[in-house]
Amino acid sequence: MDTLEALTTRASPRQLVEPAPDEASLAKILAAAVAVPDHGRLRPWRFFVVRGEARQRFGDLLADALRKREPNAPQQMIDGERAKPLRAPLIIVVATKLQNHPKIPAVEQVIATGLAAQHLLLAAHALGFGGMWRTGAPAYDPVVKQGLGLAAEDSIIGFIYLGTPAGDPPPAKKLDHTASTVEWTAPATVGA
């Protein structure tokens, strides 16, 4: 699959099943992730690979975080949170480990990590796997961050679910770029 085809045909599958990427495929996916633009070569990203029985323990962490966030959450909601990591055979939690740098602000480190997450999805797609990028309240929860060994100032960029698409994936959306593209030539008023 060539690069433009990967970029324009990737779509989030409705369901992911086994097999997950094997070790060789996972190494290729992670190598693609770290090949992103990275101002200052800070490598601010961290990839937490969650698979096998660790998915159940990660589900326990998500459920515990929900109970602390919403003490009155019904049991059905807590059980649903606990089951989220079982939606795919492999999850990569992508996080930014922020570094204090005089020339490279936090936003650039977060953007670089976001690019790494996108490269994960594209590489998985190019290798024939499916992927979904999820966030939600757990991505911003201090209990989840702590459970992963992250500091309060660090950012979880997303939970990347990987596996084999069950059935035909939905078609990639054909979006028109012209609605968000502006040809800039000069400021409307100079010196105003």
pLDDT at 98 over 90: yes
Residue 157 lies in a domain: yes
Summarize pLDDT for 121-152 with one digit per residue, the tens. 999 999 999 999 999 999 999 999 999 999 99
**Does residue 191 have a pLDDT over 70?**
no
Q: Is residue 192 part of a domain?
A: no
Q: Confirm whether 23 is domain-assigned.
A: yes
Q: What is the pTM of this model?
A: 0.91
186 part of a folded domain: no
**Burial zone of 118 (CB within 10 Å; 0-12 exposed, 13-18 middle, 19+ buried):** buried
In this structure, the number of other CB atoms found within 10 A of the CB of residue 143 comes to 16
pLDDT higher than threshold 90 for residue 66: yes
In the chain, % of residues over pLDDT 70 = 98
Pairing label, strands 16-17, 155-165: antiparallel
What CATH number did the domain enclosing 134 receive?
Answer: 3.40.109.10
> Looking at the domain assignment, is residue 189 inside a domain?
no
Note whether 117 and 107 are within 8 A (CB): no
102 domain residue, yes or no: yes
pLDDT band at residue 192 under the 50/70/90 scheme:
low
pLDDT at 81 over 80: yes
The predicted structure's pLDDT at residue 171: 74
- Choice among 20-29, 54-63, 101-110, 171-180 with the minimum mean pLDDT: 171-180
Q: How does 11-20 read in b/e, with b if 16+ C-beta sit within 10 Å? A: bbbeebeeeb
Main-chain dihedrals φ then ψ at residue 68, nearest 5 degrees: -75, -35
More confident residue, 175 or 130: 130
* Structural domains in the chain (count): 1
Mean pLDDT in residue range 81-109: 97
pLDDT at 79 over 90: yes
